[in-house]
Each structure stands twice: as structure tokens, then as C-alpha cells.
Amino acid sequence: MPRTQDELAEALGVDKTTVQGWESGRRPLTSTQAGNLRAISRTLLRLGAPSMMLTLLNEAVDADAVIAHALSGPPSVTLSQHPLTNWVFTRDTAHMLAWALNGTSPAALPASAPKGRRGPARSSPLLDPSDQQAFYDHMRRAAELADHAGESGALLRRQALYLCSYDKAPDTRSWLANMRRHAPGIRSGWTPHWADSRSVAASLTRHGDREPLYAFIRNGMGDETGEFANLNYWAYWLGIDQLPRSDDTFMIDRSDTTWDGLALLRKLADRLAPDLGCIDLNAHTVWALLSSRRGLLLADPHLNRLLTNQVTVLLDGAGISPQTRREMESVHYGLTLHT
């Protein structure tokens, strides 16, 4: 915003040192009362803050809360107190966390970078190496405690494992693989461990191991229930289903499926780049969505052309599995009939 710290402090009714504390991280917004935070958001909007940035403020505060909890010390054996136990986070929150862990700017942020300020200013909320290490140590221990807790710790285990996949330590791949071996095998359809297996398989692709993902696509989505769960998860993950979720069972709740199939297809169209680690899962999901909602191919000719180009690139390359190739050939045929 085109405001000085003094002007912003006056508009918000706080001291300049409070604004400085927010900017530096010494005074986190997570310590602000909920009502005050909403008032701050509305004032920022009136002062010219980009609307897209403000829509991400809740995700940013959620990410801060997870980081603050992890940096406060080892996880408590009382798992219900952990912020990842009773809340399913979305891609935007995960990307906010990744921003602090590896410096990668979230995809949802506006493409245009803000103008630099005079004087020293951090370009990202990247944690220093010691805090990154403390965060990953906490999450590994939380995942292990949740593993011993069984079904009651399933959500914490899954989400802690996913965040640990951002760790570039040499032993991360072997640690994730070992945690994967602890989980019951997925044979077909959805079980209480379905989402965990999906998440760990996707996480291992970040470390160059795609075989677990291939196995999960074959087995975990081998029937209608598994396919339905995967589509529900994608709709929530990408923010199309905006209802808050306290556990993973929403994925198989057919009474509460209100998300827009075309909106999901548009979001997935951006996930068909051949260099993505999870390209096979992304492509399979496009195939499954079009198979379950055939009318989508008639809804948006521009999207059809985009999908045709992307699917053609995938088929011309060599980076997809034989199953994915068969599915993309089917999608390509359907697109040519409706273009």
C-alpha cells in the first residue's frame, strides 16, 4: 500500500512500533484478538491493500500458528492440542508454510511483486536454518507419536508427513519411506488410511520416488469410492470446496458434495505440466473427473483447447506411466470430439 508506517499506524489506531513488529515478525498477528484482526483486514482493504492478498490473510495466520507451535518445543503426547490434529489444511496454507520453509512464493500470491522499501527489508518470511531444523524435528516427532496413536492420530500423521517432505535433509526420503511401511497397505477404495497413503506417495515424488504414487493410483483409486474420495480431496485442496473440514472423512461423504466440476477442471488444467512430480496423479484426476462428468467437455471451448495442447505435450513426452498414457489418450480422443 502507498502508506508509511506512521500513516498505517494512525489509520489502524496502533503505535508505530506495533506496525514495525508485524513487519519484522517480532509481534505476530496470531497474537491479535480475532475481532481486532477482522477490523484490521477491513481497514487495510479501505486503504488500498490488494483484495487477493487479504483473502490469503487467514491462511497466512494459520501457517503462522502451525510454525509458532512447532518452534515452541517438542510435540505434546496429548495430540489433541496440536494445530494439525482437528483441521484439514488446504493448498494455500501449505504453500504459506512452504514459503517459510524453502522460500518458494505461494502460487496464489499476485504475480506482480510489491515495490521495495527504503532500508533493509526481507523479501520473504523464510525461517533461518536453525528454525527450519526445529520445525522439521517437531513434525517428525509429531508424525511418529500420531503413528502410535492409531486412527485418532491419522490426520496429524498425514499432515505432519506432508510438511516433512519439504525437508531437503539427506535422510528425508528414507524416513518417509519407513513411515509409509508402517501404514496398512491400500488394496482398493477408501479406508481410514487412504488419505495418509495418498499424501505420503505424493510426498515421495518430491524426492524422486514415483513408484509409491503409481501403486496408489492403481490400488487406492481402483474403484468408484476411491475415485470419488480423490475428487473431493482435490476440490477441497484447491479451495473450490470452501467448507472447513475437521478430518478426512469428508472425502467419502456423498451428501455434502457441492463443488463445481468445471471450476475443478480449470484448476487441474494448470497441473498438467510434465515436469511436476505428481503429474501422473494430476493427469489421472483429470481423466476421472471427465469420466464422471462427461458434460464438462461441452462447457468451455477455450478450456478444451488448453487441455488439448497440454495433453498433447504429455503424450509426446516420455515422463508418464503406461497407465497415464492410456488415460491421456482417452482424454485426447474425447477432447477432439468436442473441440
152 shares a domain with 23: no
Instruction: Give just the sign of the alpha carbon dihedral 270, 273, 278, 282.
Output: positive
Q: Do the domain assignments include residue 120?
A: no
Q: Within 10 A of 83 (CB to CB), how many other CB atoms are there?
A: 16
Residue type, 13: G
Q: Do the domain assignments include residue 161?
A: yes
195 shares a domain with 227: yes
277 shares a domain with 244: no
279 shares a domain with 205: no
C-alpha cell recorded at residue 236: 477441497
C-alpha cell recorded at residue 133: 531444523
Conformation bin of residue 198: beta by default, left when phi > 0, alpha when psi is -120 to 50: alpha
- The answer to whether the CB of 58 falls within 8 A of the CB of 37 is no
The closest of 238, 232, 248, 198 to 218, measured between CA atoms, is 198
The domain of 291 spans: 260-339
Q: Do the domain assignments include residue 302?
A: yes
- Of 34-38, 103-107, 129-133, 324-328, the one with minimum mean pLDDT is 34-38
Taking CA atoms, 84 is separated from 42, 125, 143, 181, 225, in Å, by: 28, 21, 10, 22, 25
285 shares a domain with 239: no
Instruction: Label residue 118 by pLDDT band (50, 70, 90).
Output: low
pLDDT number for residue 84:
97
Q: How far apart are CA 229 and CA 234, in angstroms?
A: 9
- What pLDDT, in 10s, does the model give residues 149-179? 988 999 999 999 999 999 999 999 999 999 9
Q: Within 10 A of 314 (CB to CB), how many other CB atoms are there?
A: 24
Q: Could you tell me how many residues make up the chain?
A: 339
240 shares a domain with 280: no
- The answer to whether the CB of 183 falls within 8 A of the CB of 197 is yes
The closest of 273, 238, 284, 282 to 259, measured between CA atoms, is 238
196 shares a domain with 133: yes
Taking CA atoms, 201 is separated from 110, 149, 153, 261, 266, in Å, by: 30, 21, 19, 25, 24
C-alpha cell recorded at residue 324: 497415464
Within 150-272, residue ranges assigned H as helices are 154-164, 172-182, 194-205, 211-219, 224-237, 261-269
Domain boundary among the residues 238, 253, 268 is at 253
Q: Given a cut of 90, is residue 291 above it in pLDDT?
A: yes
Domain boundary among the residues 219, 253, 287 is at 253
**Mean of pLDDT values over 206-221:** 93
Q: Do the domain assignments include residue 247?
A: yes
- The answer to whether the CB of 287 falls within 8 A of the CB of 328 is yes
Domain boundary among the residues 231, 253, 275 is at 253
229 shares a domain with 162: yes
CA 258 to the chain's CA centroid: 20
Instruction: Label residue 205 by pLDDT band (50, 70, 90).
Output: very high
Q: Do the domain assignments include residue 225?
A: yes
Q: Within 10 A of 127 (CB to CB), how many other CB atoms are there?
A: 20
pLDDT number for residue 305:
94
Q: Do the domain assignments include residue 117?
A: no
- What pLDDT, in 10s, does the model give residues 173-183? 999 999 988 76
Tally the domains of the chain.
3
143 shares a domain with 7: no
- The answer to whether the CB of 272 falls within 8 A of the CB of 234 is no
209 shares a domain with 270: no
Q: Of residues 278 and 192, which shows the higher confidence score? A: 278
- Of 67-71, 103-107, 308-312, 328-332, the one with minimum mean pLDDT is 103-107
Instruction: Label residue 256 by pLDDT band (50, 70, 90).
Output: low
The strand ranges marked E within 25-103 are none
266 shares a domain with 208: no
Q: Do the domain assignments include residue 267?
A: yes
Q: How far apart are CA 161 and CA 136, in angstroms?
A: 10
Q: Do the domain assignments include residue 115?
A: no
Q: Within 10 A of 24 (CB to CB), how many other CB atoms are there?
A: 11
**Mean of pLDDT values over 2-18:** 92
271 shares a domain with 225: no
Q: How far apart are CA 131 and CA 321, in angstroms?
A: 38
